[in-house]
Chain A
Amino acid sequence: MIELVKIRKVYRTGQVVYEALKGIHMKVNPGEFIAIMGPSGSGKSTLMNLLGCLDTPTEGFYFLEGEDVAGLSFDQLSEIRNKKIGFVFQSFNLLLYSTAFENIELPMLFDGIGRRERRERVEMLLERVGLKEWADHRPTEMSGGQQQRVAIARALANDPPIILADEPTGNLDSKSGKEIMDLFTELNREGKTILMVTHDHGIAGYARRKVEILDGQISTDTPNGFGHPTSPSPESPV
């Protein structure tokens, strides 16, 4: 489903040249649940941005469902982000002056989906994340855990096959974090491919494959979940 070949990302700021990713090879099959770990500044977010088509690599190939997306323009990538990728951020990134309903609706607006279908899907998604009664509330009236669940509902709006989450529990207490991870586990069971960056080994334990990044390169890539205390059903990766 995803294949990265020799991906390099070089940042240039004035005279300073910094190589954030130094040749990443990676293959992701449909239905995987991957935790990406590594020290701060190792390039995790850079990798996620490339995977999410928010950025383009300096060098290398990125095949997404067979299509080479490394060379597409920004607006072409918009289309892909809209239909194939759901984003979940550490700081939720909800629109503060919009209600939960309007936030979830957002990706569908850019896909030109009709009002009626939008309403049905938003209601379904709200129910799905357990926030049925919160449709007309704004993010400022909700707890962090609730906000992140709205954000997940938004990520699911166009039913994308892939979910990318950069430290989704980073701003949450452990109880809310666990709720979010239970939701991810459920979504993964239903077939969503999930890639998640985390610093927390407990959180990483929910994933079934662990990729470690060190200094812009993959250092270890291992199946996960053999007897970890917080790990759920230890199934082997697909």
Chain B
Amino acid sequence: MFFKTLYRDLVRQPLRTLLTLSGVVWGTFAVVLLLAFGSAVKEQTMKSFRGMGKGIVLVFPSTTTMAYKGLTKGREVRITPETVETLPTKLPETIEMVSPDFSRAKRIRRKKEEVFNTVRGVNVDYEKMRNTIPAKGRFLNDADLSLRRRVAFIGYTLAEKLFKEEDPVGQQIFIEGVPFTVVGVLIHKIQTSNYNGMRDEHAAFIPWTTYTALYGDKFVNCFIYRPIHPEESPQSIEVLRNHLGDRAGFSPQDKDALQIWDFSEMEGKINIFLLSLTIFLGMIGSFTLLVGGVGVASIMLVIVEERRREIGVKLAMGAKRRQILAQFFLESITVILTGGAVGFSMAALLLKVLPMDKIKDYVGVPKLNPLVALATVATLLIIGLISGMMPARKAASTDPIEALRG
């Protein structure tokens, strides 16, 4: 009975039905797409952050801008890898682990293939901090460091360039003419930010002990550390300035002596940014959907007006007010949910067929995750509820005498 009436009402005026539906279809479509993109951007950004490392702080020794203990300003701050490696023992409350970081572009050759890529001298803990997880083989180990072995862990792009299809692990490459054995290859990971040289996928990682022995560097280009409490990274930086200021000859108040890149702090900020982005997109989508809902409500109000006599007849024949309410409410809800289902399917289809390869690295692959689906359905239901209730209440409050007159 209900569906028969509904069908008749909808088919009676196909154009009006189409217009009503299209508002909801479009609204749902927009909500799904915006939320899907939002959550993809969020996921991707977090992933590329993981590519950089989680909760780490990068420290770049720079130039002093204040005189300190008889030393003039404008001096270069110089920090040895040995000083860096003692930090976890000297500051056990503050620093969990640390790695010196030397880097320079060098000629890397294998057979006829030669490139000029970044070579980094680091220690074992670098792997944990920077997530340089091996796809094949292993990362550098303690023995590599203490024995100054000529071993290298290489990025996957570098591996492809030098080895093509071959397995690089155990094979030889030449860095500035010196033979190194490849011990491992980096997994594919996403990394959109970087420092000092090329991205990890192009780089070769060697023990810093080997690096200093071969190239004669005495001071690190930078170093990475992980605070014991990532949420207290700003305090850890203060502690570090105090500690190193004494040894390297700069004032703890001299903020420019050490350039700091605090990832745990940035992560928090970016998280908030991404959350607001998602909310913003969701709101735009919801407004679009709301417009669709308003469309349904106003058209249903017109329908109620047109069907006053029918409502009057039903009330006279013994319909209760809440039965009339239910009838019109269900009609609106059906229109809205049908439109929602169509819009949802259209968005899902689009997300499936849209070629995403070009934008993948930056915004990720938008897809229908359960959260997006849930948020859309919830929004639809709320809007359906509101825009269904208004005309239904109007219908239920019809005065039968008034409606039946004439």
Contact = CB atoms under 8 A, between A and B. Distances in A.
B401 interface: yes
B322 A93 contact: no
B324 to A, nearest CB: 10
B309 A82 contact: no
B401 A93 contact: no
B3 to A, nearest CB: 13
A60 B290 CA distance: 50
Nearest to A155: B317
B339 interface: no
B44 to A, nearest CB: 53
B313 A106 contact: yes
Interface in A95-143: 95, 97, 106-107, 109-111
A95 B317 CA distance: 12
A75 interface: yes
A55 interface: yes
Contacts of B322: 75
B98 interface: no
B304 interface: no
A83 interface: yes
Contact of A110 (B8, B309, B310, B318): B318
Contacts of B310: 95
A79 B318 CA distance: 6
A81 B315 CA distance: 9
Contacts of B319: 78, 110
Contacts of B8: 97
Contacts of B401: 49, 54-55
Interface in A52-110: 52, 54-55, 74-75, 78-79, 81-83, 87, 89, 91, 93-95, 97, 106-107, 109-110
A52 B312 CA distance: 13
B12 A97 contact: yes
B316 interface: yes
B90 interface: no
Interface residues of A, number: 25
Contacts of B1: 109
A154 B406 contact: no
A83 B317 CA distance: 9
A1 B322 CA distance: 30
Query: Which secondary structure characterizes the binding site on chain B?
Result: helix
Interface string B131-165: 00000000000000000000000000000000000
Nearest to A55: B401
Interface residues of B, number: 22
B314 A106 contact: yes
B303 to A, nearest CB: 12
A74 B317 contact: no
Nearest to B316: A87
Interface string B1-25: 1000000110010000000000000
A87 B321 contact: no
B316 A81 contact: yes
Contact of A95 (B12, B313, B315, B318): B313
Contacts of A106: 313-314, 317
Given A75-B322, A93-B312, A110-B323, A82 B404 contact: no
A170 to B, nearest CB: 11
A78 B309 contact: no
Query: Considering residues A49, A89, A93, A111, which has the most beta carbons from chain B within 10 angstroms of its beta carbon?
Result: A93
A18 to B, nearest CB: 15
A91 B406 contact: yes
A146 B320 CA distance: 28
Interface in B255-275: none
B318 A75 contact: no
B400 interface: yes
Contacts of B323: 110
Nearest to A46: B401
Contacts of B309: 93
Given A55-B401, A91-B406, A97-B8, A75 B321 contact: yes
Interface of B: 1, 8-9, 12, 309-310, 312-323, 400-401, 404, 406
29 contacts: A49-B401, A52-B316, A54-B315, A54-B316, A54-B401, A74-B321, A75-B320, A75-B321, A75-B322, A78-B315, A78-B321, A81-B316, A81-B318, A87-B316, A87-B317, A89-B404, A91-B406, A93-B309, A93-B313, A93-B316, A93-B404, A94-B313, A95-B310, A97-B8, A97-B9, A97-B12, A106-B314, A110-B317, A158-B318
Given A78-B321, A83-B318, 20 more contacts: A54-B316, A54-B400, A74-B321, A75-B321, A75-B322, A78-B318, A79-B318, A81-B317, A81-B318, A82-B317, A82-B318, A87-B317, A93-B309, A93-B313, A93-B316, A94-B313, A95-B310, A97-B12, A107-B317, A158-B318
Question: What 10 A-B pairs come out closest when comparing CB atoms?
Answer: A82-B318, A110-B318, A107-B317, A75-B320, A78-B320, A81-B318, A93-B313, A110-B319, A78-B318, A106-B317
